[in-house]
Chains A and B, each alone.
Chain A
């Protein structure tokens, strides 16, 4: 059904993509069929035009061209210095990406998009450098030959016979903002070549002769034209979609290609890519692991890994399934993924083998149902190699020995039974022996066991005995039957074993993912995360692991590694930083900084990359295994989530604390405002009464009102003083000037200040004579005693005595203020020194509960302690302990008392 209204999701995606593109630099590729058509020349011309228009244009890298015309164009433009990289005794000249990023021109010209960078540079390929430039907002002009497009690689190799090693992913070409085809008819190009106007690298002389034939050039030109036309077609399609014009909708297509270790798979993959690109459909490459694959050799394994890696590079998805039967598994998987077309390679095995083993193509086409099957034929010279046998296992030798042993043992067992049993039954013993060998040792030994068994049986028990001749031809049948049975069993066994093995391996991987996710769920600190990650990842892929995070110095440091962790050196630091900034994997086995020792994966959480997981693989790791990389990425994802979770939890705790503080503050404010308003209302009420009704009031009432106004005002005064003290104490703005002070003096001063409030309480002092001086701030300490006295006066009935005492005890000065009031309730005791805390039993209006808190603050500033308890006989006692200094103040020599 063709819906002419554009799909809103796709439009949104397109809008978002275009916004993203606006921030990116624009890429213009000068595209040509072969070297020498004039791409660099055209690029330089275009660059100069831009410079004339006022753009900041810089030449990033131009291949040193012999043509003076091209060189002439370079003049007048800024040329960036090239990076010299020493390599094997020579100096290679490369494009300096970092300098370009720093320079930040509006437009940069970089030749040879497909160039491979010298080892040691950040990226393996120049197209990756160009991607970075675009991301940084710098527009790029570059040149590209058609043979460097990844998907055309093998086609061109076929056409020209020259294998091209440098390639650029098609996505770069397809997503370029502009592609200008620089076209030159082959005849003209050959003319130029003869005139010596084409730049050719010295090493490639011979290959070039081969390359520059008219036939090749025509074919290349056609490919280039076709590619350029495809691009235009794609742009038309996009335009149509955007504007709701009718067009073919290829969304429902999905392709599946079956890959194997055969080198032919590479061609299949590229072909699939071309078809998929044409249909604009997603595609999957699947490898079906069958029991035969258990004996894959190292080279096969590597080739398969490389093929799968190529799939990912070309933008396909990879999957591995295991099963018994190739065709069935393939179809099953295709159905589960809603594949619409399957692509397989045309078989080129001889007919008889096909008849014997079955043909994949035939099976698939028969069972595919409504899925289309495309059969791609490959180079007839390239035959799929036979699955080479892996090295003989030592245990196979043991197997053969055991096979011999089984025949011998079976014979020994049968000997005494020979007279009692039919020969056919005796055979069962041999059969059992051979079967046991099959189960234990597999194919080879079991065949040997069965053959030996048959021979022994024939020799010892089949008439005529002690010969290998056979009288009754029925036994021939028996013999064959036995061999066949044993072989079948051994095949079945090996299949079962293989499946069990791969299931076990899969289970191990899943279990390890599960285990790590469980551990991560429980982790509360980065150290715990690291421990979990180190253990599980190291187990799963047999490598050393470290988690790196950005610390406050801007360094990537490993967290919580003790043994089994990787300590990053300077180079690894740089790689890790790169990974953190770009959110992409780098290091060994990737395209970025592949020379590194370790592999670095970004820990990507919802808010961005939170850290880097560094993996130091052992030497036993073989080339890029996408399955392993997927597993590591899965681990990295789990770890990232755990890290994010911890960060968010800490954030939540902080926010909660803030909210708590806010809440506390607002409740305190309301308490304080109440305490301030109450005396104010008395004052205002009293004054207004006096003001308005003075005449009608009698003298006594007036005196009363005035007295209460004065009392409330004093009360308010004390309250404000306390609030100010508390504020200063909390803000740490309380300046403590300690000098040697006499506590006796301070008590005297305090009593002097409190003369009026203490009017109704007799005060008794018990200060030790000759108390040592203590370093104290006199004002603050006086305030402490004042507060304690105030408290005592408030909470004890008029007329009850208040006692002050001071003693030197155990290197401490102990000062006590005691009253005979109601005492303190048990529940109040621990909290009485808290800000704004008021004893539950207090009924009177008190000074906002700050006095004791201030006492504690000041006493603690002096390094002392304050405590409260009830006394025997009723009432409470407040005790201050101040440490006594061991060194005493220098006191002038005592004079003789002068008697005048």
Chain B
């Protein structure tokens, strides 16, 4: 298989340089654009496997870029944003981005996110897996059974739906809104405390130490992530 192609849309030259270096080192093909219009054009021409989009571009608003991309492609998009701009990240994720990175980030984080995103992309065509396993946790989605180690854990329907949604997006961050929409329906997108209450229940049932979760990670201000690495 050809090396996956990553489109980097980033206006800071220095950041592009180190991305080129590290991604290149991991056998990714890197194409670059330093502004949004250029980036969109490149995406149309080159059909990258993943888009790395900086939200602070000078010419077009990041959300607009995501919307335009999502008009015609399901290519995974990872947004890069600064600390303290959680609202921006959430908006980007809800608009169709798959994951995010906070500047300054380490290359390790970056590669982990890229891996997860690409994995989901390749799996999108195939039918969904019916089981999920990570460390001690194993879930049979068809049979609706959850085991932690040897013990079966009894989940309520909502709790199960919640876990299933996270498994569906395993490794990627899922925003509160997305979770609420998928579990409770589009009318409940503001009831974030429901989500927290049920996440608390889930954690208590699944995690050894709910205060130090291993699987069900909280991303404050954004959402939750089922850890895969």
Which residues of A line the B interface, CB within 8 A?
A: 713, 717, 721, 724, 739-742, 744-749, 751-752, 763, 765, 767, 769, 773, 778-779, 782, 804, 889, 891-892, 894-900
Contacts and interface: CB of A to CB of B under 8 A. Distances in A.
Given A745-B199, A889-B197, A895-B158, 14 more contacts: A740-B193, A742-B200, A745-B218, A748-B217, A749-B217, A752-B217, A752-B218, A765-B209, A767-B211, A804-B211, A892-B194, A892-B197, A898-B155, A900-B143
24 contacts: A713-B104, A724-B84, A739-B192, A742-B196, A742-B197, A742-B199, A744-B200, A745-B203, A746-B220, A748-B203, A748-B212, A748-B213, A748-B218, A751-B211, A765-B211, A765-B212, A892-B194, A895-B156, A895-B157, A895-B158, A897-B155, A899-B154, A900-B143, A900-B145
A804 B209 CA distance: 13
- Interface SS majority for chain A: mixed
B220 A900 contact: no
A769 B209 CA distance: 11
Contact of B86 (A721, A740, A779, A899): A779
Contacts of B119: none
Contacts of B58: none
Given A891-B197, A900-B144, A744 B210 contact: yes
B131 to A, nearest CB: 15
Contacts of B156: 894-898
A571 B221 CA distance: 64
Contact of B212 (A746, A763, A894): A763
A799 B84 CA distance: 32
B193 A889 contact: yes
Nearest to A767: B211
Interface string B89-123: 00000000000000010000000000000000000
5 nearest CB pairs, A to B: A740-B193, A765-B211, A749-B218, A900-B144, A782-B220
B158 A740 contact: no
Counting chain A CB atoms within 10 Å of each CB, the highest count among B144, B193, B210 belongs to B193
Interface of B: 83-84, 86, 104, 143-145, 154-158, 160, 192-194, 196-197, 199-200, 203-204, 209-213, 217-221
Nearest to A763: B212
Contacts of A746: 218, 220
Nearest to A717: B104
B185 to A, nearest CB: 12
Given A745-B218, A898-B156, A751 B212 contact: yes
Contacts of B204: 769
Contacts of B84: 724
Contacts of A769: 204
Nearest to A806: B211
A747 B203 CA distance: 13
A278 B120 CA distance: 113
A498 B160 CA distance: 111
Contacts of B197: 742, 773, 889, 891-892
Contacts of A748: 203, 210-213, 217-218
A830 to B, nearest CB: 31
Contacts of A891: 193-194, 197
A744 B154 contact: no
A748 B154 CA distance: 23
Contacts of A900: 143-145
Contact of B203 (A721, A744, A778): A744
Nearest to B196: A742
Contact of B221 (A717, A721, A779, A898): A779
